[in-house]
Structure 1
Amino acid sequence: MKYNIASIRNNTLPQSLIDFSNYLETIKGKSQNTIKGYKIDLTMFFRFLKIYKGLINDETLDFEEIPIADIDNSILRKITLADLYAFLSFVEKYRKNSAYARARKVATLKSFFKFLSSRAKVIDENPAVDLESPKISKRNPTYLTLDESKSLLKAISGRNKERDYCIITLFLNCGLRLSELCSINISNIKGDILTVIGKGNKERTVYLNNACVKALNNYLKVRNENIDKIIDKDVLFISKNHTKMSKRAVEVMLKKHLISAELDSERYTPHKLRHTAATLMYKYGNVDIRSLQKILGHENVSTTQIYTHVDDEKLRDAVKLNPLSQENDE
């Protein structure tokens, strides 16, 4: 058996980053999307570091062109906490990173340097131990109202009507992530039970209501009319080229139907439909926070708690029910 080692070797990345990526995949079981995010953050950090430490020979290079493969262990051992804060200042000022984006980079740096010190034994001291994350102000989720959700469903038309209706119905009823929806296989569906692979390659069960089951059955009838043309016959959502529908294709499709429904196509995304599903379940379904956590596949219940602050009508009614509310009506 021949092995194409060259296809898995990456000569453009530092060995430490390659080792860290392998560790995340094989030991920690992180998804490819998560690993990609770590690589993007660390690549940016290494490029900044070369500028900050004066390690660039060619000053004409654009930031994205700065090579980082030469970041070796001797450079890693000299990194200080001050260097990490300088990087966070850089991404805020020059890359316009929000507090959320900077917080993610802090998490990446902490995880990377913990690996270097406690697993790879490359550095003696971990410079990220005392690295603090920026304060993040809590924001209420953006979501469609019940009436807006119904308007969106009614606006769906076109030659892929059944497919698009099924996708948006699953988003609005099940709160799926975009990556989860695109990876659904027909073999993952057993009656009213759908099995999806969420963040960190964690499997979870999603229960389908009547609207979802009906939308799926209607779509499958149309989908199977061209079964011979479909490349991977187990993939649920198929593109016009008879291949697996990409995340970008789903985003474009949703944008088109939002415009048809006269809704803000810039404000609402597939993830906002996930927010919508969670909000509607909490607001109208009397779903407790722990159950909602399981439905959404949140690892921490604190992530789910943002949906407990969205029902302004209940707050308004509570104030109106105060026994003193009519005291000045004379």
Structure 2
Amino acid sequence: MRNSGRAQVEAFLEMLSAERGAAANTLAAYGADLEEAIAFMSSRNSALPAAGSDDLKAFIADLAGRGYAASSQARKLSALRQFFRFLHAEGLRADDPTGTIDTPRKGQALPKILSVEEVSRLIAQAEADIAAAGSDQERYQRIRFRALLELLYATGMRVSELVSLPERVWSGDGRFLMIRGKGNKERLVPLSLPARQAMADWIATRNAAWPANTDDPQWLFPAASDLGHLARQVFARDLKALAGRAQIPARLVSPHVLRHAFASHLLANGADLRAVQELLGHADISTTQIYTHVLDERLRQLVNDHHPLAKSGINRDVAADNG
């Protein structure tokens, strides 16, 4: 069998150290990745410097089969790319076999969501916190927080949109809000009855506390900050604290997770994907489609329960065999 390629790998690592100043841990990582490739090629009675594209694709496939994450596969492929470019630059290879190999891609991460029961616990805890408030100031802050929470879950707004809502968007009975989102685009969103009630409580509480000798508030949720309205970091911090009191791990809860919950719960209960796209303010429906993972089981059950031929599939197969 030909030389396994360790001599060429050592020369490559020396180049990285001398010419590029690679750190010791970087050299060790490259060395380990290439050593793994050497071992794989040896199992195929081949040598790494002579490997072709099919050999390297087989190596990546073997990594995937052994449970390596796409990020780990991509890192090892990166080491191979640099190694073969080095061989080509040194005149040791006439070609680069990695040129036709696609980098393994991470699967699209599904959004974290909360169940309906978990969201209900958050809201119930927010209401209990109001009842347990020890001072007028604490009660004021907790009524404001409950309104923010109800509004977020009722609309799926981005937290930056939520905290910076101008006062003028609230009018009449509050059945709808006009939200200005990304790209300065506006969208109209309806409010649920619980959200409208929570907002009515907040407006009444805020107005009662607003000094009579000052102008009307510019923001729906004014605060003593440089922005003039509640900071999104403050709301996010308070939301995690609420989760802890509701016996839900704080790491699972954030304003964006509630936005995910809004979309997922709507879809799970039969909402149209295009309608959810409009409510979320997504420019491209492909962004909204990530939430359809929640529909998989529901749709499977729907077909099994209601498709006229689904339950008789086995009988039809038997009848065909007997026919």
For 1:177 and 1:308, the matched residues in 2 are separated by 19
Say which of 182, 194, 205 aligns to 1:222.
205
Structure-1 residue corresponding to 2:169: 188
Q: Residue 289 of structure 1: CA displacement? A: 0.7
For 1:317 and 1:310, the matched residues in 2 are separated by 13
How many aligned residue pairs are there?
Answer: 200
Please give the residue correspondences for 1:53-202 in structure 2 after superposition, counting only pairs within 5 Å. Answer: 135-156=105-126, 157=129, 158=133, 159=139, 160-191=141-172, 192-202=175-185
For 1:309 and 1:149, the matched residues in 2 are separated by 19
CA change 1:273–1:326 in 2 (3 A) is farther
For 2:313 and 2:113, the matched residues in 1 are separated by 31
> What per-residue deviation string (whole Å, max 9, x for no partner) do you get for residues 153-188 of structure 1?
001114222111111111111000011001101201
For 2:314 and 2:119, the matched residues in 1 are separated by 36
Q: Residue 53 of structure 1: CA displacement? A: 10
- Structure 1 residues without counterparts, runs of 5 or longer: 1-51, 55-97, 100-131
Q: Are 2:217 and 1:247 aligned?
A: no
For 1:326 and 1:219, the matched residues in 2 are separated by 59
Structure-1 residue corresponding to 2:14: none
Q: Secondary structure, in 3 states, of the residue corresponding to 1:169?
A: helix
CA contact (8 A) 1:141 1:310 kept: no
Q: Residue 280 of structure 1: CA displacement? A: 1.2
CA contact (8 A) 2:268 2:298 kept: no
Q: Report the identity percentage.
A: 31
Task: Tell me the TM-score normalized by structure 2.
Answer: 0.55
Structure-2 residue corresponding to 1:302: 286
For 1:306 and 1:154, the matched residues in 2 are separated by 29
For 1:297 and 1:136, the matched residues in 2 are separated by 26
Structure 1 residue identity aligned to 2:118: E
For 1:196 and 1:184, the matched residues in 2 are separated by 8
Structure-2 residue corresponding to 1:3: none
CA change 1:152–1:314 in 2 (3 A) is same
CA contact (8 A) 1:255 1:265 kept: yes
For 2:107 and 2:20, the matched residues in 1 are separated by 33
Task: Tell me the TM-score normalized by structure 1.
Answer: 0.54
CA change 1:134–1:271 in 2 (3 A) is farther
Q: C-alpha root-mean-square deviation of aligned residues, in Å? A: 3.2
Q: Are 2:191 and 1:208 aligned?
A: yes
Q: Are 2:223 and 1:235 aligned?
A: no
For 1:271 and 1:155, the matched residues in 2 are separated by 19
For 1:291 and 1:241, the matched residues in 2 are separated by 35
CA contact (8 A) 2:156 2:280 kept: yes
CA contact (8 A) 1:232 1:244 kept: no
Q: Residue 133 of structure 1: CA displacement? A: 10
Structure 2 residue identity aligned to 1:161: R
Q: Residue 311 of structure 1: CA displacement? A: 3.3
- Structure 2 residues without counterparts, runs of 5 or longer: 1-18, 22-69, 72-101, 134-138, 316-323
For 2:314 and 2:237, the matched residues in 1 are separated by 51
Q: Secondary structure, in 3 states, of the residue corresponding to 1:215?
A: helix
For 1:133 and 1:219, the matched residues in 2 are separated by 52
For 1:186 and 1:217, the matched residues in 2 are separated by 13
